[in-house]
Amino acid sequence: MGLSIEVRDLTKRFPGSRPFPWSPPGRDSVALSGVTFDVRPGEIFSLIGPNGAGKTTLLKILSTLLLPTSGVARIGGADVVREESKVRSRISLVTNSERSFYYRLSGWENLRFFCGLYNMHEQDLRERMQPLAETLGLTEAVLARAYRTYSTGTQRKLQFLRAFVLDTPVLFLDEPTSSLDPVSAEEIRRVIATECRSRRQTVVLSANNLVDVERLADRVAMIHRGRLEVLGAPPAGSGAQPIRLFVRAPTPTVLAGLEEFARGGDPAEPVRWEIDERAGGSVVRCWTRDPRATLPGLLESLWQAGVRVEQVDLRPFVLEEEFLRRVDEAGPEPEEVPG
């Protein structure tokens, strides 16, 4: 199968600022370093990473809005630097900013303007828009209103309507559900899942909301300190599997329950565990060869010890866990190192 997006050894360095022309330049900041990945046609590829990790920088380079320092990025074979006009006719961008339309124009007038930049005729726009606007709940009355009167959810829906009407083969989504209430966020996820899948649109989704990523992405890559790594579940049968519990109880009580469970277990199959204190409770991770067989006894021991178990997760790969583990392992940002 061919590739929609190819990125090879992409690096972006921002020069350090200087307060006056004669001042020595400040330290360069490296936003991306040697980033390499591919995205296949119709795939939803997600980028996660801490704030400031380089996700938006990468999306801006792929959208031709930012120049890379070195490396190559191609959209459908067209280079984002040398063939930017070709690239721009193949992509659209949905951002988390409400400042992406003219406030004084209505939704319909905004669509006419932005789709007109792609040479789209008004009649063509009307025909394409109708079924999509219905799906998004954007009625004619809503589209006739000034954009400045829209709620955040409606503003975001108008961005999706613009992107779907343009029907570009590649769609970049930058935090599509941020600052939306749970109902609107779910609506947006449903739209992405149905519309992008049915069009076989290639999507690069940058998200801090890991629910979006878990529900929508085919593959996930994490960017941290400018480096990108594609994440995935460990291969099945590779040894002990995790049981992840969210519990509410003081740590000594949780430990007592776990020790009680270990005493009654098979000495040939020891259970390994760790406890992480989190806001409002603790996360307990136990590794065992057979989670399904281990779980009832483990829950019973914890319950007997007085521990309230609120969540049980048997998935071999939990994105949030992986995210936190990698950020913890990397330690604080160099600027944040005390002393």
Partner 1 sequence: MAVETVHPLPSAARPGGPRAILRKAYLFTYLRGWLVWSSYRAQVGLTIVGWIVPVFVFFLVAVFLGAAGSSISALDGSSYIAFFVVGLAFQGFVSNLVGMLAQRIRSEQMMGTLELVFLSPTNPGAVLIYSSLFGVLLNLLSAVAIMVVGVGLLGVQLSLNLPTVIVATILLAVSSTGLSLVAAAFILWTKQGNPVALFFSTFTQFFAGVLFPVAVLPASIQWLAYSIPLTFGLDALRAGLLAGGSLVSVAPSLGYMALYAVITIPMGLLLFRWVLNRTKDEGTIATY
| Continuous segment of H or E residues that includes residue 156 | helix 152-166
In 3D space, the residue among 108, 101, 67 whose CA is nearest the CA of residue 84 turns out to be 67
- Shortest Cβ distance from residue 89 to partner 1 (Å)? 4
The tokens for 103 are: 């406030």
Q: How far is CA 166 from the centre of its chain?
A: 23
**Inter-residue contact 213 to 204 (CB < 8 Å):** no
Q: Give the range of 98-106, 212-220, 289-297, 305-313 binding partner 1 by CB under 8 A.
A: 98-106
In 3D space, the residue among 137, 134, 143 whose CA is nearest the CA of residue 107 turns out to be 143
Query: Distance between CA atoms of 47 and 221, rounded to whole angstroms?
Result: 5
- Shortest Cβ distance from residue 100 to partner 1 (Å)? 5
Interaction between residue 168 and partner 1 (CB under 8 A): yes
The burial of 159, by beta-carbon neighbours within 10 Å (0-12 exposed, 13-18 middle, 19 or more buried), is given as buried
Site string for partner 1, 111-150 (x = CB under 8 A): -xxx-xxxxxx--x--------------------------
Interaction between residue 287 and partner 1 (CB under 8 A): no
Site string for partner 1, 20-49 (x = CB under 8 A): ------------------x-xx--------
- Shortest Cβ distance from residue 153 to partner 1 (Å)? 18
Interaction between residue 72 and partner 1 (CB under 8 A): no
SS3 56: helix
> Would you tell me which residues interact with partner 1 (CB under 8 A)?
1-4, 6, 14-15, 38, 40-41, 57, 60, 63-67, 74-77, 85-86, 88-93, 97, 99-105, 109, 112-114, 116-121, 124, 166-170
